[in-house]
Structure 1
Amino acid sequence: MEIRSVSTILSVTVTQKEGRERMVFYFKARPEAGEYTIFMGLDKYENEDLIKFGFPQDIWFHVDKMSSAHVYLRLPKGQTIDDIPEGVLEDCAQLVKANSIQGNKVNNISIVYTPWQNLKKTASMEVGQVGFHDQKMVRTMKVEKRMNEIVNRLNKTKIERKPDLKAEREAVNASEIAERKHQLRDKKRQDELEKLEKERQAELRSYKNLMVAEKMTSNKDTASASKSVQEIEDDFM
């Protein structure tokens, strides 16, 4: 029977973890608030992928100073962290608390949340561990106690998926690049139209200046101002 070292076994275990399909749980926030999707990974390995392949409009939630699930809120395009409805914030906070072993047992805990782009990951950090680029962008909210009616409502909407997070992120990148190109084309066209309009207006102003009455002369004025041939000859006599 082949005997493998502990290090080999650990290596195989990690490889199996890294190669498995990722499970992500999706929830729907309270319907009266609009279309908001909340999601979280099964464990720290999914959290690692969610950190790596997040969307610019994602907001990250976690129990402060305690172990908990990494919960994300995907905002509709154009919204920011300042636009999150109070009820949706409460949904996210309750879901984080409910998925924290320690945080679920105590009252009056703090939830921290920040835009996905503010998450910082370094090579020295453990799997699923994260820091922040700018502490000023991290917000805190208090949760007095678990509210089962909120947690139960969210759990009824839970859907399990095994998404290709990398492919989803690449699709978003491609869409953003295409949109920027379209915007640049529109801006270039608008700039060209504005340039043509400026040139037309300048031409009109120039023409109007030529047509000012004080600067115009009639054929009669020209004839009276000019000397005749006979008059010029008389001048030389």
Structure 2
Amino acid sequence: MYVYESTHDDKTFCLLMGKDKYENDLMIKLFYKEMNAVWFHVNNYSSSHVYMLLKSPIKSDVKLSDLVSHQHINDAMQLCKSNSVAGNKLQQVEIVSTPFTNLKKSGDMDPGQVSFKSTRFLSYFTCYARDNTVLNRLEKSKLVLDADLTSTEDIMNLADSMDKDAIDYVEISANISAEDKVLPNLEEFLRKCKKSKDGQRIEMYVKTHSLRLKLMERLRRKLKKVNKSGKNKIIGGIDYSDFSYV
């Protein structure tokens, strides 16, 4: 699961995005109402599922645009559009948005497919051409929540070769408990968050462990470069090939 920061006028909202259709399903299954999450998707096209975490619940008679600036909404829309194979090629697309609690998932649906409990709580926005300035800013804030890399042979080899990022990562990881790592996988981490009913838990986790998560992301990219052999290698559970969203 990818985590971004959308910051404008001294206000920051956390944006979450699944890395593929299976992780999208996992997020639908294990997100919970206390997160105050609002879901975004390119209407009528396959795209990433993007969630904005609000500071308080959104009431049924209140529009998202009354609570959040257009700049924050545009950040979420640009992530959706840019991670839509068809939508990214279009000059403009319609984005559908709704509170997470209005999503409906049944067993007969394909991975990544979702419906709604009520169409009354849907909002529609127009997202125009791809804005690389917005996407580059969001990319700089991106962190990945996935299984810890400490025990992997590749990381230890980098540390042995005196790679500073690897050494720092191993040292930081050695001084935190297993409870503070995303172990053994994202699903277990999200289950713990849901059980806690703490709507700020994911955001606080990212804030507390931002340095380690940034090191983890840099190391994954280093390993991808080192191990590049014509095909992208899956490293620490993350496949850095082109996304295919449903």
**TM tier, shorter chain?**
0.5 to 0.7
Contact 1:29-1:36 within 8 A present in 2 as well:
yes
Identity across aligned pairs (percent)? 33
Which structure exhibits the higher relative contact order, with contacts defined as CA atoms closer than 8 Å and separated by 6 or more residues? 2
The alignment status of 1:169 with 2:197, answered yes or no, reads no
Q: Distance in 1 between matches of 2:43 and 2:57?
A: 28
| Distance in 2 of aligned mates of 1:108 and 1:71 | 18
Look up the match of 2:82.
Answer: 98
Q: Aligned-pair distance for 1:31?
A: 4.1
CA distance change for structure 1 residues 173 and 97 in 2, over 3 Å: closer, same or farther? same
The count of aligned residue pairs is 152
Contact 2:40 2:97 in 1 (8 A): yes
Residue number among 43, 50, 58 corresponding to 1:71 in the alignment? 50
Partners in 2 of 1:150 and 1:35 — Cα distance? Answer: 15
Runs of 4+ in 1 over 4 A off after TM superposition: none
Q: Equivalent of 1:114, from 92, 98, 115? A: 98
Specify the alignment match of 1:178 in structure 2: none
Q: Secondary structure at the match of 1:68?
A: coil
Determine the C-alpha separation between the residues in 2 that align with 1:64 and 1:116.
16
Q: Deviations over 1:62-91 (max 9, x none)?
A: 000001000010111355534122111011
- Report the Cα offset of residue 54 of structure 1: 1.6
What is the CA–CA distance in structure 1 between the aligned matches of 2:50 and 2:10, rounded to whole Å?
18
Matches of 1:79 and 1:64 in 2, distance apart?
21
What does the per-residue CA deviation read over 1:117-157, in whole Å, with 9 as the maximum and x for residues that have no partner?
00011111111110000011111101121111001100110
Query: Which residue does the alignment assign to 1:48?
Result: 25
Distance 1:33 1:55 in 2: 27
Change (3 A) 1:78 1:146: same
Distance 2:199 2:41 in 1: 30
**1:63·1:100 contact (CA, 8 Å) conserved in 2?**
yes
- Specify the code of the residue in structure 1 equivalent to 2:54: L
2:124 aligned to which of 120, 140, 159: 140
Q: Quick one: structure 1 residues 72 and 165, their matched pair in 2 at CA, closer, same or farther if it must change by over 3 Å?
A: same
Structure having the larger proportion of residues in helix: 1
1:61 maps to which residue?
40
Question: Gapped runs of 5+ residues in structure 2?
Answer: 147-185, 201-246
Shift of 1:99: 0.7
Determine which structure has more spread, i.e. the larger CA radius of gyration: 1
Contact 1:67 1:102 in 2 (8 A): yes
Structure 1 position 27 matched with structure 2 position 11: no
Gap regions ≥5 residues in structure 1: 1-23, 176-237
Give the drift of 1:35.
2.4
Aligned residue type for 1:126: D
Deviation at 1:37, TM superposition (A): 0.2
Distance 2:199 2:56 in 1: 16
When the two structures are superposed, what TM-score results if normalisation uses the length of structure 2? 0.58
RMSD: 1.9
